[in-house]
Amino acid sequence: MSLFDPVFDLFRNLKLKTKLKLIYFFASAVAFFLLIFVLNAAIGRQLFEHERSSLGNALQQSISQLEIYINDTINLSNFIYNNDDMLSACNQAYGSDYFRMYTAYSNDILPDIYVYQCLIPEVTDIKIYSSCGLIPYMGAVDDLALLKDMPWFDSSPGISQQWVAFTEGGKERLAYMRRLPQNSVYPYENYLYLEADYSYLFSSMTSVTQDSYGLVITDAEHSLLYQHTSFPGGASPIDAGTLGGDYEGISSRLSGQYLFLSARIEPVGWNVYYYSPIQTIRETVTQTVLTTFFMIAVCFALLYFLTFFTVNSILSPLAQLTRVIEKISLENIGDHELLIIPGRRDEIGTLIQTFNAMLKRMRILIDEAYVQKLKAKEYHFNALRAQINPHFLYNTLSQISAKAIMSGQNDISRTVQLLALFYRTSLNNGNDITTIGNELDNIRAYLSIQLTLTDHSFQVKYELDKSLLSLPIPCLILQPLVENAIEHGLRDSRRPDKQIHILLIREEGQNVCSVKIRDNGVGIQENRIKELFSLETDHIGIRNVNERLKLFFGEDYGLTLTSLPECGTEVAVRIPLSACPPG
């Protein structure tokens, strides 16, 4: 005997509700403390890295938008750089020929500038600084000397294009300048000046995140181009002018206080530096962890109430059921051996004991009732069969036929003989199974009677493979299908050549025999065909015949029906050549 056996026995015999309380308490305690440990040890760090990664993605998205604006500006400069008309207009010696100047402005310079400004909205000013002597007009062309006098202009020979940030009139500005071609064809020195909308160009950098952060953009020489801060009061804790020149040192020195990210804008070689307080990220992580703790606690509380609501909803009906079963089985509970010997004394054990006693009694009662019901059905069936005396029916029909012949009524005699044949093949001596040959004899008799009754209003054609006549088939399969062809196919048809075509064939390449019943009547609408197999309709026996065939031969066999309105209908009875019923 194990040391823990008494504990196991005690636990096993506790009430189910007490067991669930203990299980829930220990499972919840272990799960809760394990989750707290995991969240503090691992998830907090993962959340921090996730926040860092999210900030990096947000920064990269903002940079991607900025790159689009920059590329638009550079592409615009490429268009102008390769615009021969504008270059030619800026490389002419006009002297005092003002008409030529006006023509150059009107035809070659101003129209293109207006188009470019409409296409690129972030470029607010397009101007050409030229040394060819063009008089300034409409802000489109200006004297090159004015540009060279600007303090930020760099006339170094190796510099053909540059971005310049400057302040003018208390407003931040950003311009892109590019030296236009100068050669034997274009002898004058010209510069293209494109001024970008400063706020519009850098708008994507002002919404990297909702938290406090700082952002600095410098050119390749670490000259400040743009800065943004969203700290309280608008003051930046880090000097933007020195961050670009000493990013490594500053980020290393302040790594415990700020999260630093850097990126490069490749088309122009700019550097982007981002920094935000680590405390902000920690607060976000802490808030997430606390929210998670709260949600876990809420889940455990909900689980507690749901668990005991479920337990009570199960145990209360079981207790009532047990009391009812005890009343039913009290009479014989001590007289019979139990079918199952339970080894527990909780509610489930009590239910098993009571159920076994009731089951024993119910089996006896069910056996008695079942036998009586079978006998009653058998008696009822025999009584029904006794009501139909085939021999009496056949003898009566034979006498009627003989009297008709004696009276010279040969048509009546023939019809009566066909009726006798029809009932003989239908009743089939009380057997449920017949042959295809007998079924065809049955519908021959039926069709002959119908031809007599309808004054031969339609024709019947047979194509039969006689080697298949001996295959077995359930009784009364074909007659309902032929009746449907007459009642629903031919009766309402107005065509003079109404016909029923009976075929008995082998399906090529398949171990299947088909009996096909075709008519050239009114046909059936496509949406009605499925209803014939699923609903009780006025088409006699379609569903019943199909189910009988599947029950006898299997699910792979049965009826198929195809029809075209005003063209006719074909019903095929598919049975296996082996003709052996399943099971």
Question: With the CA atoms of 238, 241, 243 and 245 taken in that order, what torsion angle do they form, in degrees rounded to the nearest 10?
Answer: -160
- Would the pLDDT of 378 be above 60? no
Task: Report CA torsion sign: 143, 147, 148, 151.
Answer: positive
Q: Quick one: what percent of the chain has pLDDT higher than 70?
A: 75
Strands 190-196 and 214-218 come out as unpaired
Say which residue the tokens 């002018």 belong to.
241
pLDDT given at position 165: 87
pLDDT given at position 344: 57
DSSP string computed for 454-512:
TTS-SEEEEEE-GGGTT-EEESSSHHHHHHHIIIIIITT---TT-EEEEEEEEPTTSSE
Mean pLDDT is lowest, of 137-146, 305-314, 383-392, for: 383-392
Q: Quick one: what percent of the chain has pLDDT higher than 90?
A: 16
What are the domain boundaries of the chain? 83-203, 330-387, 459-469+476-576
pLDDT given at position 456: 86
Cα-to-chain-centroid distance, residue 328? 52
pLDDT per residue over 232-283, tens digit each?
Answer: 766 777 877 778 778 888 888 887 888 888 888 887 888 998 888 877 777 7
DSSP string computed for 282-337:
HHHHHHHHHHHHHHHHHHHHHHHHHHHHHHHHHHHHHHHHHHHHHHHHTTTTTTS-
- Would the pLDDT of 407 be above 80? no
**Cα–Cα separations (whole angstroms), residue 200 to 192, 196, 360:** 21, 8, 88
pLDDT per residue over 96-117, tens digit each?
Answer: 888 999 898 999 899 988 988 8
CATH number of 459-469+476-576: 3.30.565.10
Phi, psi of 215 (to 5 degrees): -145, 135
Structure tokens belonging to residue 302? 């909900």
Question: With the CA atoms of 228, 231, 235 and 240 taken in that order, what torsion angle do they form, in degrees rounded to the nearest 10?
Answer: -40
**Bigger pLDDT: 298 or 395?**
298
Chain mean pLDDT for the chain: 79
Q: Is 80 left (phi over 0), alpha (psi -120 to 50) or beta?
A: alpha
Mean pLDDT, residues 457-486 taken together: 90
Question: Cβ(554)–Cβ(582) under 8 Å?
Answer: yes
pLDDT given at position 337: 47
Confidence label for 91 from pLDDT (cuts 50, 70 and 90): very high
**What does the alpha-carbon distance between residue 109 and residue 142 come to, in Å, rounded to a whole number?**
12
- Would the pLDDT of 47 be above 60? yes
**What does the alpha-carbon distance between residue 491 and residue 446 come to, in Å, rounded to a whole number?**
16
Mean pLDDT, residues 546-555 taken together: 86
pLDDT given at position 381: 45
Mean pLDDT, residues 202-209 taken together: 81
DSSP state at residue 258: E
Cβ atoms < 10 Å from Cβ of 47: 20
Confidence label for 333 from pLDDT (cuts 50, 70 and 90): very low
**What does the alpha-carbon distance between residue 185 and residue 178 come to, in Å, rounded to a whole number?**
18
Say which residue the tokens 């604006």 belong to.
69
pLDDT given at position 581: 46
Confidence label for 215 from pLDDT (cuts 50, 70 and 90): confident
**Bigger pLDDT: 404 or 65?**
65
pLDDT given at position 503: 95
CA angle 493, 495, 501 (to 5 degrees): 80
Burial of 434 (0-12, 13-18, 19+ CB in 10 A): buried
Task: Report CA torsion sign: 203, 209, 214, 217.
Answer: negative
pLDDT per residue over 334-365, tens digit each?
Answer: 444 444 545 556 666 666 667 666 666 766 76
Cβ atoms < 10 Å from Cβ of 51: 21
Task: Report CA torsion sign: 117, 123, 125, 130.
Answer: negative
Element (H, E) at 568: strand 568-576
- Do the domains spanning 83-203 and 459-469+476-576 agree at the CATH topology level? no
Which CATH entry fits the domain spanning 83-203: 3.40.50, 3.30.450, 3.40.1710, 2.30.29? 3.30.450
Give the residues across from 141 on adjacent strands: 128, 137
pLDDT given at position 188: 93
Question: Cβ(213)–Cβ(276) under 8 Å?
Answer: yes
